[in-house]
Amino acid sequence: MIARRTLLTTTVAMAGMAALAWVLPAPLRAAYAAAGDAAAFVRQTADRLTAIVNGPGSIADKRREMQGVIDSAVDVDGVGTFCLGRFWRTATPEQQKTYLALFHDVLLTNITGKLGEYTGVQVTVGRATPAGDITRVATVVDRPNNPPTQVEWVVSTAAGTPKVVDVIAEGTSLRLTQRQDYASYLRQHGNDVDALLAAMSRQLSGG
pTM, full prediction: 0.77
For residues 10-31, average pLDDT: 36
Task: Please tell me the distance from the alpha carbon of residue 187 to that of residue 159, in angstroms, as a whole number.
Answer: 33
Identify which of 203, 202, 200, 207 has the alpha carbon closest to the alpha carbon of residue 99: 200
Query: Would the pLDDT of 184 be above 50?
Result: yes
Inter-CA distances, 92 with 76, 89, 133, 140, 191, Å: 19, 8, 30, 41, 13
62-96 pLDDT per residue, tens: 888 988 998 999 999 999 999 999 999 999 999 99
The dihedral sign for the CA sequence 65, 159, 171, 88: positive
Q: Which helix (H) or strand (E) holds 63?
A: helix 59-73
For 86, half-sphere exposure in the C-beta direction (CA atoms, 13 angstrom radius) is 7
Query: Would the pLDDT of 159 be above 90?
Result: no
109-147 pLDDT per residue, tens: 877 766 566 678 787 888 899 988 899 999 888 878 888
Task: Please tell me the distance from the alpha carbon of residue 74 to that of residue 141, in angstroms, as a whole number.
Answer: 19
Q: What percent of the chain shows pLDDT beyond 90?
A: 43
Inter-CA distances, 26 with 20, 22, 158, Å: 12, 9, 19
Domains of the chain in sequence order: 6-205 (3.10.450.710)
For residues 176-182, average pLDDT: 95
Query: Coil, strand, or helix at residue 205?
Result: helix
Q: What DSSP designation does 74 have? A: B
Q: Determine the pLDDT at residue 113.
A: 64
Task: Please tell me the distance from the alpha carbon of residue 156 to that of residue 172, in angstroms, as a whole number.
Answer: 18
Local confidence band at 1 (pLDDT 50, 70, 90 cut-offs):
very low
